[in-house]
Amino acid sequence: MNSSHRLRRFAGITLVALILTACSASDANVARLNQDVQQITVGEPYPISARSLAAAMLQAGFSSDEVLEYGPRVRNAIGSSGGAQINKGKYADAIFSVQDSNLYVSSRDGGTFIRDL
């Protein structure tokens, strides 16, 4: 294999890799995983009280500092779309959703539970 053929092959492989990277970066689902709190459209939008949400987040295994950090955005997400997901790194740490005046919570540290609102 001559050097010009190797160069063209390397350029082709690099181009394909760049295209695939650009496609994944433009996908909304991939981009959303980079956010620590995101809205998810499940359940029903609900004006959850800060006290109820804080109690649920503590039961789910979040520290009081994490409740202060994530709580307002989780509350806004539940109020506008009915659900929220908290991501830590590349994994979902907890999912919150409201259905029939109940808060459904599934978390890595606190398990799955339901709170009456």
Q: Give the tens place of pLDDT for each residue, 54-108.
A: 999 999 999 999 999 999 999 999 999 999 999 988 788 999 999 999 999 999 8
Residues 97, 73 share a domain? yes
Does one domain contain both 48 and 8? no
Whether 57 and 100 share a structural domain = yes
Sign, Cα dihedral of 89, 90, 94, 96: positive
CA angle, residues 40, 44, 48, in degrees to nearest 5: 90
Sheet with 37-39, side-by-side order of all strands: 37-39, 83-88, 91-99, 102-107, 111-116
What is the value of pTM for the model shown? 0.70
**pLDDT tens across 85-99, in order?**
999 887 889 999 999
The upper half-sphere exposure of residue 54, i.e. CA atoms within 13 Å in the direction of its Cβ, equals 9
pLDDT digits (tens, 9 = 90+) for 5-55: 655 655 445 444 445 545 544 444 444 455 789 998 888 999 999 999 999
Query: In total, how many domains does the chain have?
Result: 2
- Whether residues 54 and 94 share a domain: the answer is yes
Domain extent at residue 45: 34-116
**Could you give the CA distance from residue 32 to residue 53 in angstroms, rounded to a whole number?**
22
- Tell me what pLDDT residue 13 has: 52
75 and 51 in a common domain = yes
